[in-house]
């Protein structure tokens, strides 16, 4: 009697195995006493199928019935680095993560991967904005069938479907056997446990992760299980001048006022005392371990509050306000993006400089109208905290002014990418405003290294 491999609610059931088969040795296999069958997470499908074949088990594989139908698609023309990325992914067995800078054409590379496998594909994106951008990008490929959508209140599954992370998480236990290729945009969101089940409940044997900067080691190891290893990595500096615009990075060091300096040092001293005490006891610990430890005591929680207060002092002090005014006046004819550390500072700048803010409080329709006006030249500058970092198709901008930096190298790379879309003769300018003799100076240097190597962890 043949052994059956069947998809069941985000898992695989190994049914009617031969008596001499050690099913418990299959990848991820556990005995489920509720149904008295062996069960393994669906994302182990490829490994389990290979193991069963390797042991010469007579196999009826119903888990693949729904994703076997071929999807013929035209292959797009690729730039050399995109072709190299696709080749590396295919050489790795069609599993892995590709790291390309913002604006380098990750979506086009994904389209080529879909065409190369010829299998039904589910593309996962973090936001509704990206959901509609991907549908538009893929729309010309699917012919009369069109592109399916899962998210933003819609459920229309087709052989090529785009879904938000949240919708996939909620429905993958029912649709996890419908797609042979899983494409995950902004893949760095996974690997921490949050919503990882969306990837675990899919049987897709082919998986492609896309990101501007891969996560740090612990998260990356988990991502390798879910999607595969990093198979190709390309830096901003590798592409600037040919495929991305040339750019000049200018760091402007400014001085805190006496009162701002006193307040900053007072808060930082309160934080440093607890920070140093922890790392004397645990010198090899991570920042995440320190934060977790600090949250367990009143002293630690006060230290974290002091750190937040110190950061708020650096976010938009008087010197940054003056420097921002001078830079906006200097680039009065340019398309400028201003980045802040938080929404409150974005609104302060918007009111003071009469700029249009783009924040999470603004709906998609209004945001699209604002970006259209920016593209047409009706608005010369926009100010944003994090909304423009990821998932928003920003029209060509010439100048970026980073008033308040993001905490991670990844967000910095995403911000820089907003002004690097290539235009003949264009040289973008990126200004970073940092306060002298503060943690901002060190972080700016670190971001500069991360921009060149794109190996910096968040």
> pLDDT tens across 315-349, in order?
999 999 999 999 999 998 888 999 998 899 999 99
Which of 297, 314, 331 finishes a domain? 314
Last residue of a domain, one of 61, 89, 104: 61
93 within some domain:
yes
Q: In this structure, is residue 127 part of a structural domain?
A: yes
Q: Do 379 and 431 belong to one domain?
A: yes
Say if 123 falls within a structural domain.
yes
CATH of the domain at 358: 3.40.50.300
Examine residue 268 and state whether it is found in any structural domain, yes or no.
yes
Question: How far are the Cα atoms of 127, 129, 153, 366, 424 from residue 167, in angstroms, in the given order?
Answer: 10, 14, 9, 24, 40
In angstroms, the CA 227 to CA 223 distance is 6
- Do 219 and 142 lie in one domain? The reply is yes
Q: Which of 324, 330, 327, 362 is nearest to 345 (CA)?
A: 324
26 shares its domain with 86 = no
The domain that holds 47 is classified in CATH as: 3.40.1170.30
Q: Are residues 159 and 296 in the same domain?
A: no
Joined together, the tokens standing for residue 28 give 């991820």
373 and 435 housed in the same domain = yes
Give the 3-state secondary structure of residue 337: strand
Same domain, 250 and 270: no
In this prediction, residue 145 carries a pLDDT of 75
* Helix, strand or coil, per DSSP, at residue 156: strand
Write the pLDDT tens digit of every residue in 16-72: 999 999 999 999 999 999 999 999 999 999 999 999 999 999 999 999 999 988 888
Reported as a single tens digit per residue, the pLDDT across 377-428 is 899 999 988 766 555 666 578 898 999 876 566 667 677 777 767 676 677 8
Q: Are residues 49 and 192 in the same domain?
A: no
What is the pLDDT at residue 454? 46
For residue 223, what are its two tokens? 């991502």
Predicted local distance difference test score (pLDDT) of residue 387: 60
User: 351-360, pLDDT tens digit by residue?
Assistant: 999 899 988 7
pLDDT confidence of 452, banded at 50, 70, 90? low
Q: Are residues 382 and 308 in the same domain?
A: no
Q: Which of 185, 200, 234 is the last residue of a domain?
A: 234
pLDDT in tens, 240-272: 777 776 778 888 999 999 999 999 999 999 999
Q: Is 75 a domain residue?
A: no
Confidence check: pLDDT of 178 > 50? yes
Domain shared by 252 and 264, yes or no: no
Shared domain for 298 and 338, answered yes or no, is no
Give the structural domain span for 277: 258-314
Give the count of beta carbons closer than 10 Å to the beta carbon of residue 183: 28
Residues 201-225, mean pLDDT to the nearest whole number? 92
pLDDT tens by residue, 129-159: 899 989 988 887 766 678 999 999 999 999 9
* Predicted pLDDT at 272: 96
Whether this model's pTM surpasses 0.85 = no
Instruction: Please give the tally of structural domains in the chain.
Output: 4
Rounded to 5°, the CA angle 163-166-171 comes to 75
The reply to whether 73 falls in a domain is no
Evaluate whether residue 53 is within a structural domain.
Answer: yes
pLDDT of residue 392: 60
- Note whether residue 143 is domain-resident: yes
Do 46 and 183 share a structural domain? no
Domain identity same for 101 and 207: yes
Element (H, E) at 250: strand 246-254
């Amino acid at each position: 009697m043949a052994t059956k491999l069947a998809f069941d609610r985000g898992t695989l059931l190994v049914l009617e195995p031969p008596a001499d088969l050690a099913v418990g040795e299959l990848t991820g296999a556990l005995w489920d006493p509720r149904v008295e069958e062996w069960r393994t997470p669906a994302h182990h499908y490829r490994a389990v199928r290979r193991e069963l074949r390797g042991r010469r088990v007579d196999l009826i594989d119903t888990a693949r019935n729904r994703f076997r139908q071929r999807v013929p698609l035209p292959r797009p023309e690729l730039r050399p680095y995109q072709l190299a990325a696709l080749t590396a992914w295919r050489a790795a067995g069609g599993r892995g993560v590709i790291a390309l800078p913002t604006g380098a054409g990750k979506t086009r590379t994904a389209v080529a991967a879909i065409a190369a496998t010829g299998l039904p594909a589910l593309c996962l994106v973090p936001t509704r904005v990206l959901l509609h951008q991907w549908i538009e990008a893929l729309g010309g490929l699917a012919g009369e069938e069109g592109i399916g959508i899962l998210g933003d209140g819609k459920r229309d599954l087709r052989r090529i479907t785009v879904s938000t992370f949240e919708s996939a998480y909620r429905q993958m236990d029912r649709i996890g056997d419908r797609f042979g290729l899983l494409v995950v945009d902004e893949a760095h969101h996974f690997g921490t446990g949050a919503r990882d089940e969306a990837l675990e409940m899919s049987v897709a044997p082919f998986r492609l992760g896309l990101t501007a900067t891969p996560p740090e080691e612990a998260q990356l190891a988990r991502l390798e299980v879910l999607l595969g290893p990093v198979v190709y990595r390309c830096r901003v500096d590798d592409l600037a001048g040919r495929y991305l615009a040339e750019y000049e990075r200018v760091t402007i060091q400014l001085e805190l006022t006496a009162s701002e300096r006193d307040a900053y040092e007072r808060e930082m001293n309160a934080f440093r005392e607890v920070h140093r005490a922890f790392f004397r006891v645990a010198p090899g610990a991570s920042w995440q371990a320190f934060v977790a430890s600090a949250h367990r005591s009143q002293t630690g929680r006060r230290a974290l509050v002091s750190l937040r207060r110190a950061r708020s002092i650096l976010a938009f002090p008087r010197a940054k306000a003056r420097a921002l005014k001078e830079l906006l006046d200097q680039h009065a004819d340019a398309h400028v993006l201003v980045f802040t550390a938080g929404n409150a500072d974005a609104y302060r700048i918007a009111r003071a400089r009469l700029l249009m803010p783009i924040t999470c409080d603004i709906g998609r329709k209004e945001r699209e109208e604002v970006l259209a006006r920016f593209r047409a030249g009706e608005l010369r500058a926009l100010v944003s905290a994090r909304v423009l970092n990821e998932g928003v198709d920003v029209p060509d901008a010439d100048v970026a002014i980073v008033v308040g930096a993001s905490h991670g190298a990844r967000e910095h790379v995403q911000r820089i990418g907003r002004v690097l879309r290539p235009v003949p003769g264009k040289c973008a300018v990126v200004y970073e405003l940092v306060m002298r003799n503060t943690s901002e100076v060190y972080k700016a240097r670190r971001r500069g290294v991360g921009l060149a190597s794109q190996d910096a962890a968040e």
